[in-house]
Chains A and B, each alone.
Chain A
């Protein structure tokens, strides 16, 4: 059997395990156990597998993951999200699709505090949808912006998924976290432009309404009280890293500690809240890290079977331009995203795609940023995007899954548009990390 057959067998076995409901982490481990036994000389191979688990997880690059998760948990439990939304509310004037734009602005602000698209979308839904309903917003303009904006959490640091991507693909986490900022802001801009254009053309989608203006003094006071500390946290996470003062892990720890201090200052810190935050952090971190235990062995097995090398050779010999190969890889991941969640897609594709990218002479940071955007899309592509279900579960009664699917479509299109832009203009990704102090 050639490498193609072996590869097909590996993927088929893995998908079969996942489909019958074996948790993703254990599907990879089961496959690795069989693979290690077959390819690495029986029992000796299984010993080697244990060491590969140790190597996969005891990786300095992964340390920001639990710290970023903790940051988000503390922030959401401290009730500061609602206060921040009020601040955003007070500064947005009488514009078309006002509440939809608030969802985008709020999503961007939350994204600087958390890396979880699900948490962000759920929070935006509970804060904004009742008001949107009261103002007669259509579902496309209430649920859609929330689906899009929730995903910004993945694209703007802190982002646990970004850390995992960089760690699995083995390039600089710090550089990558800085690189995804511009693409993330571009997404927010694309969403906002779409909302304004759509609501101007079709005012019934988001009826305008009058609201009592907030006094300037009050606005300034609230911004200083709730907005300014946020900037300090953002500086701790992104600024320290950007200036080369701290590593990604150190910035993440400073950010997490900063959030705890902030929660204490807002008198939101209690033992119960701390306990719940840490328990939730443990839950998410273990879930992600357990999947990661299989990463090293999986890519070693793929390399051992000759599949990685074979695919690299095939991709470089294709009679199409290198950029087309990149586009094809992104399309493959886009399709996978309709059915799978981001981390398993990353585990499957990174060991195959990144060697190809390097041979083709592209920057892994650039490709990774587009891929991360693609993973963000995966959380909102029908039929199985996770955030779709989150939004459905917190949306007002009577909302069908079809409503949610339909609302997501224009925002998926915005994301794909930004992906195309990044593909054509790599500088959008590479410019900011190029300015970093090394």
Chain B
């Protein structure tokens, strides 16, 4: 388990680092666009489209990393008011729901991505950028979320046995 934890954390950190790169890209690309358009009269049509795509990558690549830090905001009024045993039961239920969501998003995300690739779908703009490359963020990030939520579910189970 310890080894699995180390690996999972390493992959999550790598994924979060890529998400930060996507953030840097958004900042840089938009600033570049302002300068090129206003100073050199060179409007950059790709900036809008690619920065939008980057948002999806930021969201899904950062999600498992954030889940590890319990950073996805939740309502804790009931769980905080409850005693140890029920609190753990609810935490198990919550981890199970999150896991189920992550599995569904991984599976159907992968299907939707594959579908878009097979059909060669693209956004109807000048770039004709293939949709599947953007959609890929969803199954990738969700797969990592599966691992993270499975890990917290197992962790809670083990806690009960101890």
Residues on A close to B: CB < 8 A?
17-27, 29-30, 33, 43, 46-47, 49-51, 53-54, 57-60, 62-63, 66-67, 70, 245-246, 249-250, 252-254, 256-257, 278-279, 281-283, 285-287, 289-291, 293, 339-341, 343, 384
B70: nearest chain-A partner, CB-CB: A23
A289–B59 alpha-carbon span in the complex (Å):
6
Q: How far is the CA of A89 from the CA of B19 in the complex (A)?
A: 40
- Using a CB–CB cutoff of 8 Å, the interface residues on chain B facing chain A are 16, 19-20, 23-24, 26-27, 30-31, 33-34, 38, 48, 51-53, 55-56, 58-59, 62-63, 65-67, 69, 71-79, 90-91, 93-94, 97-98, 100-101, 104-105, 108-109, 111-112, 115, 131, 134-135, 138
Q: Which residues of B are found within 8 Å of A70, using beta-carbon distances? A: 23, 27
- List 4 additional A-B contacts (Cβ < 8 Å) besides A24-B75, A282-B62: A20-B79, A58-B53, A254-B34, A278-B24
Most chain A C-beta atoms within 10 Å of own C-beta, residue among B20, B72, B73, B75: B75
A290–B137 alpha-carbon span in the complex (Å):
13
Which residues of chain A have C-beta atoms less than 8 A from B74's C-beta?
A: 18, 21-24
Nearest Cβ in chain A — how far from B94, in angstroms? Answer: 4
User: With A58-B134, A341-B73 in contact, is A51–B34 under 8 Å at CB?
Assistant: no
Quick one: which of B27, B77, B91 contacts A257, CB cutoff 8 A? B27
Task: For A29, give the chain B residue with the smallest CB separation.
Answer: B101
Residues on B with beta carbons closer than 8 Å to the beta carbon of A21: 74-76, 78-79, 90-91, 94
Pairwise interchain contact A254-B23, C-beta atoms closer than 8 A = no
Q: A25-B72, A46-B108, A58-B53 are in contact. Are A20 and B78 (CB under 8 A)?
A: yes
Q: Which residue of A lies closest to B116 (CB)?
A: A51
Q: State the Cβ distance, A222 to closest chain B Cβ, in Å.
A: 30
> How far is the CB of B67 from the nearest CB of chain A, in Å?
8
Which listed residue (B58, B104, B109) contacts A282, Cβ 8 A? B58
Contact A63 B78 (CB under 8 A): no
A residues near B90, Cβ cutoff 8 Å:
20-21
Can you list 17 A-B pairs, Cβ within 8 angstroms, ordered by A?
A: A20-B94, A23-B94, A30-B101, A47-B112, A50-B109, A50-B111, A54-B131, A57-B55, A58-B52, A66-B58, A67-B27, A253-B31, A279-B16, A282-B66, A286-B63, A341-B73, A343-B73
CB-nearest residue of chain B relative to A59? B52
Judging by beta carbons under 8 Å apart, are B59 and A30 in contact? no
Does the CB pair A286–B75 fall under 8 Å? Answer: no
CB within 8 Å: A-B pair count: 166
A293/B59 in contact, CB under 8 A? yes
The answer for the CA separation of A58 and B60 in the assembled complex, in Å, is 12
CA distance A250 to B48 in the complex (A): 10
Chain A residues whose CB sits within 8 angstroms of the CB of B105 once the complex forms: 29, 50, 53
Contact B56 A57 (CB under 8 A): yes
Q: Is the CB of B111 within 8 A of A286?
A: no
Check B138–A54 contact: CB distance below 8 A: yes
Closest Cβ of chain B to A177, distance in Å, is 16
- State the Cβ distance, B60 to closest chain A Cβ, in Å: 8
Residue in A26, A54, A287 whose CB lies within 8 Å of B71: A287
Q: In this complex, what residue of B is CB-closest to A20?
A: B90
Flag if B56 contacts A58 (CB, 8 Å). yes
Do the beta carbons of A47 and B94 come within 8 Å of each other? no
A154: shortest Cβ distance to chain B, in Å?
A: 16
Q: For the complex, what is the distance from the CA of A26 to the CA of B102, rounded to whole Å?
A: 9
**In the complex the two chains form, what is the Cα distance from A53 to B69 in whole Å?**
23
CB distance from A325 to the nearest CB of B (A): 28
Cβ–Cβ contact A285 & B75, under 8 A: no
Docked Cα-Cα span, A236 to B16, in Å, equals: 29
Contact for B73 among A23, A43, A293, CB less than 8 A: A23
Find out whether the CB atom of B108 lies under 8 angstroms from the CB atom of A253.
no
In the complex, chain A residues whose CB is within 8 Å of the CB of B53: 58
Give every chain A residue within 8 A of B52 (Cβ-Cβ). 58-60, 63
User: What 3 A-B pairs come out closest when comparing CB atoms?
Assistant: A23-B72, A253-B30, A286-B62
Q: A249-B30, A286-B62 are in contact. Are A51 and B72 (CB under 8 A)?
A: no
CA distance A403 to B147 in the complex (A): 43
